[in-house]
Structure 1
Amino acid sequence: MGYETILVKKEGKVVTITLNRPQSLNFLDPIMGGELERALGDAEKDEGVGAVVVTGAGRAFSAGGDVKFMKEDHTAHEFYQRMESITRFIRSMTCLPKPIVAAVNGPAVGGGCSIALAADMILAAETATFAEAFVRIGLIPDCGGIFLLSRRIGLTRAKDLVLTGRTIDAREAERMGMINRVVPAEALEEETRKLAQELAAGPTMAMGIAKRLLNQSYESDFDALLRLENSHQALLRLTEDHREGVKAFFEKRKPQFKGR
């Protein structure tokens, strides 16, 4: 089954998902949300996939929700149902047991900013911008934006961006700790490819567990997380990837992980 609003391409162990509505700055709606959820589910089930890249077609990463839709009259229940259908893919991103890299090629606004924040690592072109602009139309961040933004940059900075709705450039986003790295626009695709390939070549099971425990760390107390670390570490000791990693260490070579 094909896709209407996204492009999905697999190269080696990396799947690239491209938001593909360039004429409308890759706006989000239930169709795109459902297709993103399906593509992420396929990537999770495919043992040959070690990492996922999310990027945008054209000059924007994503301008977020369809503001034209908001001109129409809907009940609160109708709008809630619409948001539920759109945002399920955000849970898929945060729960995917494989690393996700967002390659932000242009404006990431509103829900588009949340998509980037839901990735595990964010590379941004020098021309990229970020905005949680909801306050400008009397709304609050959605698609997990409040949760994801405050976790990345802390409450003080998150309140600044959410309550003012101001736009920041990639350099300021990097200084805030919102993103991992800024690269020249012409180098974004190549730098993202190299990072994704590096992650995809890693021990998938260990990285998936590490991702889950990091995400749980804000809700867990120290002792509970310590017990989780110990139990998962004991299980990972039995994996082929661990044995290969130890063997490669003593043989002074690069390990060849298989995700098992």
Structure 2
Amino acid sequence: MTDKAVLLSNDDGIATITLNRPSALNSINKLLADELIECLNLVKNDNSVKTIILTGSGKAFCAGGDLSYIENLKDIIEARSFIAQVGQFVSIIMEMDKPVIAMVNGVAAGAGFNLALACDIIFCADSARFAQSFAKVGLIPDCGGMYLLPRIVGLHKAKELMFTADLIDAKTAHSLKLVNRVCANESLEEETKAFAKKIADSAPIAVGLIKKTLNRYDTMTLNSLLEHEADMQAYCLQTQDHKEGVSAFKEKRMPSFKGI
């Protein structure tokens, strides 16, 4: 049995990062935070990795902050340092070029909910449950939740979910467009990996530029977006991946992209 709080594997260009504190519902303490940041930076800088799956071991995706750890933080300086570190999860995931898929295998509460929202795609099991549980323990949403959630569900629904801390099921999460797909528990991993492979087979330069642009679309005017896409498209047109894509289209075969 490993004592690692976060596990990392790489199979055919798909890296899987697994939160590994199942007895604590993969809640976040300093060890898990340190190891998750390390793993995210490793896959970000690994050219063999095209797509990342983020999931949890056992019955939960992530139950949020480990309250036993949090209540023993000695002062406001240590508390702020820990919350700021948790916020790094969001910035690393959202700023890296590579797509990150949250595979939500169970409860995603508090910071765990927001960690999933930071990902580019969310697949969840039909038994998954989601909650912005902060208000029930006298806290505000962290891990980027107040930035991420209203952009998905709208301001008033975000307030409702955060004020009440209500638990919602997978069907409701899908209806609110919080998740892309709800899978049967037994097929979640298979369906997520098949989708990850589809992305991994796409042109990585183009996918990375799409991700970075969409993640800041609401900060750009139409004219600035048009200027940006002209710059990025001109760059893409010079890549070997574009040339390979055109050749594959003409030859009626699957393209083999190299990220160059």
Output the TM-score relative to the length of structure 2. 0.96
Q: How does 1:110-129 map to 2 (within 5 A)?
A: 110-129=110-129
Give secondary structure in 1 for the equivalent of 2:218. coil
Q: Report how far residue 255 of structure 1 moved.
A: 1.4
Give secondary structure in 2 for the equivalent of 1:188. helix
Describe the shift of the 1:73–1:27 C-alpha distance in structure 2 as closer, same or farther (beyond 3 A): closer
Q: Report how far residue 49 of structure 1 moved.
A: 0.7
1:30/1:86 contact within 8 Å kept: no
Q: Report how far residue 175 of structure 1 moved.
A: 0.3
Structure 1 unaligned spans of 5+: none
Which whole-Å CA distance do the structure 2 matches of 1:223 and 1:138 have between them? 43
1:34/1:89 contact within 8 Å kept: no
1:5 aligns with 2:11: no
Which whole-Å CA distance do the structure 2 matches of 1:229 and 1:166 have between them? 40
> Which stretches of structure 1, 4 residues or more, deviate above 2 A after TM superposition?
69-78
One-letter amino acid matched to 1:11: D
Give secondary structure in 1 for the equivalent of 2:85. helix
Tell me the residue number matched to 1:29.
29
**Cα deviation code 1:194-249 (max 9, x no counterpart):** 01111111111111111000011111111111111110110011111111111111
Tell me the residue number matched to 2:140.
140
Q: How does 1:240-255 map to 2 (within 5 A)?
A: 240-255=240-255
Q: Report how far residue 146 of structure 1 moved.
A: 1.2
One-letter amino acid matched to 2:107: P
Tell me the residue number matched to 1:217.
217
2:174/2:180 contact within 8 Å kept: yes
1:32/1:86 contact within 8 Å kept: no
Give secondary structure in 2 for the equivalent of 1:61. strand
Q: Report how far residue 76 of structure 1 moved.
A: 2.7
Which whole-Å CA distance do the structure 1 matches of 2:204 and 2:150 have between them? 27
Tell me the residue number matched to 1:42.
42
Q: Report how far residue 78 of structure 1 moved.
A: 2.5
Which whole-Å CA distance do the structure 2 matches of 1:140 and 1:240 have between them? 47
Tell me the residue number matched to 1:83.
83
Q: CA RMSD in A?
A: 1.4
Give secondary structure in 1 for the equivalent of 2:28. coil
Q: Report how far residue 77 of structure 1 moved.
A: 2.6
Q: Report how far residue 101 of structure 1 moved.
A: 0.5
Give secondary structure in 1 for the equivalent of 2:61. coil
1:34/1:86 contact within 8 Å kept: no
1:128/1:169 contact within 8 Å kept: yes
Tell me the residue number matched to 1:170.
170
Tell me the residue number matched to 1:53.
53
One-letter amino acid matched to 2:255: P
Describe the shift of the 1:73–1:159 C-alpha distance in structure 2 as closer, same or farther (beyond 3 A): same
Which whole-Å CA distance do the structure 2 matches of 1:66 and 1:127 have between them? 22
Describe the shift of the 1:3–1:254 C-alpha distance in structure 2 as closer, same or farther (beyond 3 A): farther
Which whole-Å CA distance do the structure 2 matches of 1:212 and 1:187 have between them? 30
Structure 2 unaligned spans of 5+: none
Which whole-Å CA distance do the structure 2 matches of 1:71 and 1:192 have between them? 36
Tell me the residue number matched to 1:158.
158
Give secondary structure in 2 for the equivalent of 1:68. helix
Q: Report how far residue 3 of structure 1 moved.
A: 7.6
Describe the shift of the 1:3–1:232 C-alpha distance in structure 2 as closer, same or farther (beyond 3 A): farther
Output the TM-score relative to the length of structure 1. 0.96
